């Protein structure tokens, strides 16, 4: 009897894809929030170390989205390594809040033009926090779900 392969790719590969997707979607949400004047924070801040007017055009937007996708792979792998076994929705919320605090309280001096979180208006803070929470929930729920599904299918496979 031939073995059935329920998963075509590894959990690490799924975490990488989840991270990249979360980074792209999160940065698109950030650009939308900035475009609609919900926040003065712009995802383009990741390009601050480089000089040039190109950063404000479509090339800058695409590069920023790509960079967030790549950077997000690392955050997804961190979640995978530390929290993948946590089933609750609240772990993703907590992860998003922790990332928000890390970026805007600790890492903000690395990006010229970025202010401390306390210097932004309330709308900017709430929009940024909401975006990070959705980002954390997306990563957390996706990775935890895939991990649980993998465990379940392997247990099913052992019973056969």
In tens, the pLDDT along 80-106 reads: 999 999 888 899 999 999 999 998 888
Q: Evaluate if residue 64 carries a pLDDT over 90.
A: yes
Percent of the chain with pLDDT over 90: 62
Residue 16 placed within a domain: yes
Q: Regarding predicted confidence, which is higher, 112 or 141? A: 141
Q: Evaluate if residue 45 carries a pLDDT over 80.
A: yes
Q: Which domain holds residue 88?
A: 11-153
Residue 91 placed within a domain: yes
Percent of the chain with pLDDT over 70: 94
Q: Evaluate if residue 144 carries a pLDDT over 90.
A: yes
Residue 1 placed within a domain: no
Residue 87 placed within a domain: yes
Residue 80 placed within a domain: yes
How many CB atoms are located within 10 Å of the residue 17 CB? 15
Question: What is the per-residue pLDDT for 125?
Answer: 94
CA distance 3 to 79: 31
Residue 26 placed within a domain: yes
Question: What is the per-residue pLDDT for 52?
Answer: 84
pTM above 0.75, yes or no: yes
Residue 43 placed within a domain: yes
**H/E/C letters for each residue in 54-117?**
HHHCHHHHHHHHHHHHHHHHHHHHHHHHHHCCCCCHHHHHHHHHHHHHHHHHHCHHHCCCCCCH
Q: Regarding predicted confidence, which is higher, 43 or 78? A: 78
Domain count, the chain: 1
CA distance 31 to 35: 6
Confirm if 139 and 95 have CB atoms less than 8 A apart: yes
Q: pLDDT of 5-37, one tens digit each?
A: 555 678 999 999 999 999 999 999 999 999 999
């Amino acid at each position: 009897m031939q073995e059935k392969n329920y998963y075509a790719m590894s959990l690490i590969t799924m975490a990488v894809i989840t991270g990249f997707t979360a980074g792209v979607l999160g940065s698109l949400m950030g650009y939308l929030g900035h475009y609609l004047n919900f926040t003065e924070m712009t995802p383009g801040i990741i390009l601050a170390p480089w000089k040039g007017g190109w950063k404000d055009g479509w090339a800058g937007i695409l590069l920023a989205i790509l960079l967030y996708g790549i950077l997000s792979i690392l955050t997804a792998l961190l979640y995978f390594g530390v929290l993948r076994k946590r089933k609750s929705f609240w772990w993703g919320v907590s992860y998003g809040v922790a990332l928000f605090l890390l970026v805007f309280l600790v890492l903000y001096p690395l990006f010229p033009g970025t202010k401390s979180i306390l210097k932004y208006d309330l709308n900017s803070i709430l929009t940024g926090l909401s975006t990070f929470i959705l980002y954390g929930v997306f990563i957390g729920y996706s990775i935890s779900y895939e991990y649980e599904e993998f465990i379940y299918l392997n247990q099913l496979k052992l019973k056969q």
